[in-house]
Amino acid sequence: RKEVEQDPGPFNVPEGATVAFNCTYSNSASQSFFWYRQDCRKEPKLLMSVYSSGNEDGRFTAQLNRASQYISLLIRDSKLSDSATYLCVVPRTGGGNKLTFGTGTQLKVEL
Amino acid sequence: EAQVTQNPRYLITVTGKKLTVTCSQNMNHEYMSWYRQDPGLGLRQIYYSMNVEVTDKGDVPEGYKVSRKEKRNFPLILESPSPNQTSLYFCASSSLGHRYEQYFGPGTRLTVT
């Protein structure tokens, strides 16, 4: 199993839809998880941090399922501006500042 | 404005010609990292630094050097660039208390011919 795995998509959804995508991770000792957003050819930007069972910020909800080793990102009432690639990020255990980035899930919100 | 800056933003060079990509942050962050991003492979960490004069290898350090002489700067050096180092490079920084919540620079697109 890859350290971090994401469905690459693209997920094409109409404006206003609810969309969810998952990220699976292999290291059962991982304690924290992050979702970053990356617009085409731009730098990644932190979207949400997940330190316990989940986190919610406006239209965005991240949930953690430790038993099955995945985190999900739910976007409600999708906007055109949500179109981007969403990167799942899992820190490596053992100290330092090593992160494993998923290859990302592409979301396209359409009129 | 809190930011991470990188220079140059675009660079085309030839095999073997030494180059340096600069990275600077104005947030007094302890942690800084360099990543490369290639299609289908995602972001991969090249080197990271936990503070001045403290650096460590990431996943793909071969062919790269770094230094951290000042807290704000973390240059990436390619002593002898090769075509397989053609990539999009990002510098990132984070604070001691939130080391995984990284602020990224705008990226440097490097082409080695």
pLDDT by residue, tens only, chain B of 113 residues: 889 999 999 999 999 999 999 999 999 999 999 999 999 888 999 999 999 999 999 999 999 999 999 999 999 999 999 999 999 999 999 999 898 999 999 999 999 99
Q: What's the confidence (pLDDT) of residue B2?
A: 87
Closest partner residue to A46 (CB to CB) among B35, B44, B102 is B102
Average pLDDT for A4-29: 94
Residue A6 host element (H or E): strand A4-6
Q: What's the confidence (pLDDT) of residue A29?
A: 87
Residue B55 · residue B48 · CB < 8 Å: yes
Q: How far is CA B13 from the centre of its chain?
A: 17
Contact residues for A58 (Cβ-Cβ < 8 A; gap 6+):
none
Q: What's the confidence (pLDDT) of residue A2?
A: 81
Residues 2-61 of A with CB under 8 A from B: 32, 34, 41-46, 49
Please write the tens of the pLDDT for every residue from A53-83: 889 999 999 999 999 999 999 999 999 999 9
- Buried b / exposed e over B10-45, threshold 16 CB at 10 Å, is ebebeeeeebebebbbeeebbbbbbbbbeeeebbbb
Q: What's the confidence (pLDDT) of residue A51?
A: 86
B50 contact residues in A (CB cutoff 8 A): 96-97
pLDDT band at A1 (very low <50, low <70, confident <90, very high): confident
Report the mean per-residue pLDDT for chain B: 96
A44 contact residues in B (CB cutoff 8 A): 43, 90, 102, 104
Closest partner residue to A43 (CB to CB) among B44, B45, B90 is B90
Q: What's the confidence (pLDDT) of residue A53?
A: 81
Q: Does B102 touch chain A (CB under 8 A)?
A: yes
Count contacts between A and B (CB, < 8 Å): 53
| Subunit contact B88:A97, Cβ cutoff 8 A | no
Please write the tens of the pLDDT for every residue from A18-60: 999 999 999 888 889 999 999 998 999 999 999 888 899 999 9
